[in-house]
Amino acid sequence: MEIPRLSEKHIPLIFIFITILAYGFLVPFTGFYWDDWAFAWIAKFLGPAEFFPAFSGIRPFLIPIFFTTTSLIPPVPIYWQIFAIIIRILAGLSAWFALNRIWPRFKFQTLIASLLFLVFPAYSQHWVAYTHINQEWIPLILYLLSMGLTASALRNPKKFRTNTIYALLLFFEGLFATEYFFGMEPLRFLFIYVILSEGSKTIIETVMKAFKVWLPYLVIWLMNAIWLAFYYSRGYNSYDLEVLNEPFSPAGILLAIVEAVWMAGLYAWAQVLVLTANIITAPSAILTYFMMVLTFLIMVPIFKNISEGKSLNRKTYISFFLIGLLGIILGRIPSLAAGLPFRLQSSFDRFAISMMLGGSLFIVGFVELLVRSERGKLYIFALLIALGTGQQFFNGNVFRRDWERQQDIFWQMKWRMPSLEPNTVIITDVIAVDYESDIALMGPVNWIYEPDYKRGNLHYLLLFTDIRLGGILPKLEPEIDIQFKLRTETFYGNSSQAVVIHIAENDCLRVLDPGLGDGETYKNKLGRVLDAVHLSDTSLIHRDELEPADFLLEPDKTWCYYYTKAELARQFKDWDQILLLQEAAKQNRIEPYDPFDWLPFIEANAMTSNFDTAKILSVDAINEDARIRVGICKVWERAEAYGPAGTGDKLHVGDALRAFQCTQ
């Protein structure tokens, strides 16, 4: 049965379909990341109007965007992930609108470029929705619509003035809202030239006329250059700024440009195959391959249906190729000028957003340049879209795992530290998450521990010693004042009011307690975080339960639930509660990941005269990891000093101390 020919009115359905394949299936399993947390916290506790003072000193043209979106959408992760799907569809359609107006005779090729733009694989940050929707995607949509209206003004002389006015207004907001797209503006001049060159004028005449049309845009662009110079002169910096190690040099600039063209123009399209090569049998890889095959099998008949069988002429495919190449280079300029690296599969690939339009045109021109067979081109374009879809699905799984890890960490914090004294600093070396720094996690920490926050100073701060020592945290000594401002709110604290924690990638959260001798117990296990253990004050931790934050989804009870609850009970010498937790874990056949996790259970048994059980657990733990011997000795020494006082009890404890070589 022959499929009816698809018309232009069906094109939006293709964009919706591809967007759902690439981004939609993992929406329920993703959340907030990176700067999302600060913005969501502001919206939740201070309200959308707070974005006026929050951005007035740094990016004031973002204020109307943030205020509008946060007034309409509550700070609930799934709402923003759904909104991100809508925004990506609108961005893809905006690119199609612009390119279709610039090259109306090559509808199939402009559609391909727009679909490639939709799944552009060099950009992995789609799921950092709260941040990037407001800071980049909405401005980019405005910018693309502005380019489309510029082309429409030239295509329809009767509406030239009206379309130009609208184009200038959209351009102004799209450009001034963020510096990301500053480098893209010369593309508009080239697009104008392409349209005007369809006439019979000479090159010089066309250039002069194109410049005349571009002049009002050039004025706004130069105004933006002055604004950016002022903006950066005020010393704006990101909390987690990482700059290129090498100073600017012609060779360094050339290398950065070549890398950008290679990564954003070519390598990114095959990157998913490299990333999955070593995990080919993993469920996430299998699902990624399935999404690629499904996309390819569906897009081939769709492309056959809508393809007009008309190749780009030599002049046009060279235009696609060269304009695309220049677009990648121009898109890299703002981040390069700021000294920022461009790395795929990291938060730094967010800079690919300004290379997406150029990169999509580049790859279409590249294929048209190399492949002569119309059927071959069709299959290659379907394959590229399939690879882009697979890459974005793969990225979604990375963010899904990160969200699961965040949830796990937050729940362990709640179990081990149900509530905290206000003005507490939580110190650790680092937390094993992919997309969140300590400052980013300041949002959820305050959300969890002060769910009824009212305007005033922030009361909780999380710091990684690996990156903050010598800065926000001057040194690891008592009575050091600590101050940090998160947009409009400030934390004031002191190093003498701190809790030191450690949580490795495959380990449970540990609150380090110098009173238990944790500096010696974990000496050969935890590393640099032990430099701060003397600052840890567990009396700042209270047992009062707070209502779980909105974003916390109750997980299944794994070993870390029993361990963190047991450590909390040990802090308050609630030995019976620890024994109940031990029995519950046993009934559920749940065992520790790490022999060090047995310490609170060994101590509870020793303190309640269950010496045989305590000794068996001690022996098993030492047999599994000899480094635990110091911690076990600390437990038995406390049992000797503070445990059962009967003569028989003392004999049992003494035997244990000798058996585990705790006495010399």
Tens of pLDDT, residues 348-376 = 999 999 999 999 999 999 999 998 888 99
Flag whether 615 is in a domain: yes
**How many domains does the chain fold into?**
3
Compute how many other C-beta atoms are within 10 angstroms of the C-beta atom of residue 523.
15
Query: Could you say which of 401, 428, 463 is where a domain stops?
Result: 401
Which of 84, 80, 76, 79 shows the shortest CA–CA distance to 41? 76
d(CA 429, CA 437): 11
**Structure confidence at residue 59 (pLDDT):** 87
Pairing status of strand 510-511 against strand 498-502: antiparallel
**Residue 500: φ, ψ to 5°:** -100, 125
d(CA 279, CA 289): 12
Question: 315 and 299, same structural domain?
Answer: yes
**Structure confidence at residue 413 (pLDDT):** 96
Q: Which residues contact 512 (CB under 8 A, 6 or more apart)?
A: 500, 501, 502, 518, 519, 522, 526, 529, 530, 532, 533, 536
Tokens describing residue 378? 């069709």
pTM metric for this prediction: 0.92
Question: 86 and 67, same structural domain?
Answer: yes
Tokens describing residue 290? 């399935």
Question: 480 and 348, same structural domain?
Answer: no
Pairing status of strand 460-464 against strand 424-428: parallel
- Go through 117-136 and write b for each residue having 16 or more CB atoms within 10 A of its CB, e for each that does not: bbbbbbbbbbbbbbbbbbbb
**Structure confidence at residue 645 (pLDDT):** 57
Question: 352 and 430, same structural domain?
Answer: no
Flag whether 410 is in a domain: no
**Structure confidence at residue 663 (pLDDT):** 73
**CA-to-CA dists, residue 534 to 333, 516, 529, angstroms:** 47, 11, 10
Residue 556 is classified by DSSP as: P
Flag whether 384 is in a domain: yes
Q: Which residues of the chain have pLDDT under 50?
A: 1, 238-245
Q: Which residues contact 362 (CB under 8 A, 6 or more apart)?
A: 261, 265, 320, 321, 324, 325, 327, 328
Q: Facing residues of 489 across strands?
A: 486
Question: 453 and 392, same structural domain?
Answer: no
Question: 304 and 257, same structural domain?
Answer: yes
- Go through 594-630 and write b for each residue having 16 or more CB atoms within 10 A of its CB, e for each that does not: bbbbbbbbbbbbbbbbbbebbbebbeebbeeeebbbb
Flag whether 347 is in a domain: yes
d(CA 285, CA 354): 28
d(CA 117, CA 139): 16
Tokens describing residue 270? 């095959």
Question: 375 and 236, same structural domain?
Answer: yes
Q: Which domain holds residue 379?
A: 8-401
Tokens describing residue 155? 């295509």
Residue 565 sits in a domain whose CATH number is: 1.25.40
Which of 500, 565, 491 shows the shortest CA–CA distance to 530? 500
**CA-to-CA dists, residue 463 to 338, 466, 489, 571, angstroms:** 26, 9, 17, 23
Which of 573, 459, 462 shows the shortest CA–CA distance to 515? 573
d(CA 130, CA 486): 17
Tens of pLDDT, residues 452-511 = 998 889 999 999 998 898 899 999 999 999 999 988 899 999 999 999 999 988 889 999
Pairing status of strand 460-464 against strand 498-502: unpaired
Question: 478 and 517, same structural domain?
Answer: yes
Percent of the chain whose predicted confidence (pLDDT) is above 90: 78
Question: 217 and 114, same structural domain?
Answer: yes
Flag whether 172 is in a domain: yes
Query: Could you say which of 346, 366, 401 is where a domain stops?
Result: 401
| Longest CA span, the chain | 109
d(CA 598, CA 104): 70
Tens of pLDDT, residues 413-449 = 999 999 999 999 999 988 888 888 889 999 999 999 9
Question: 639 and 527, same structural domain?
Answer: no
Query: Could you say which of 494, 523, 549 is where a domain stops?
Result: 549
**Structure confidence at residue 504 (pLDDT):** 85
Question: 45 and 122, same structural domain?
Answer: yes
d(CA 381, CA 373): 12
Residue 6 is classified by DSSP as: P
d(CA 328, CA 325): 5
**Residue 510: φ, ψ to 5°:** -120, 130
Flag whether 2 is in a domain: no
d(CA 440, CA 114): 33
Flag whether 189 is in a domain: yes
Output the CA torsion 590→596→597→602 (10° steps): 100
Strand segments, DSSP code E, in 93-196 are: none
Which of 479, 124, 63 shows the shortest CA–CA distance to 275? 124
- Go through 496-516 and write b for each residue having 16 or more CB atoms within 10 A of its CB, e for each that does not: ebbbbbbbbeebbbbbbbeeb
Compute how many other C-beta atoms are within 10 angstroms of the C-beta atom of residue 640.
17
Does residue 468 contact residue 480 with C-beta atoms inside 8 Å?
A: no
Question: 427 and 365, same structural domain?
Answer: no
Compute how many other C-beta atoms are within 10 angstroms of the C-beta atom of residue 256.
20
Flag whether 183 is in a domain: yes
Does residue 559 contact residue 508 with C-beta atoms inside 8 Å?
A: yes
Compute how many other C-beta atoms are within 10 angstroms of the C-beta atom of residue 15.
21
SS in 3 state form for 607-623? Answer: HCCCHHHHHHHHHHHHH
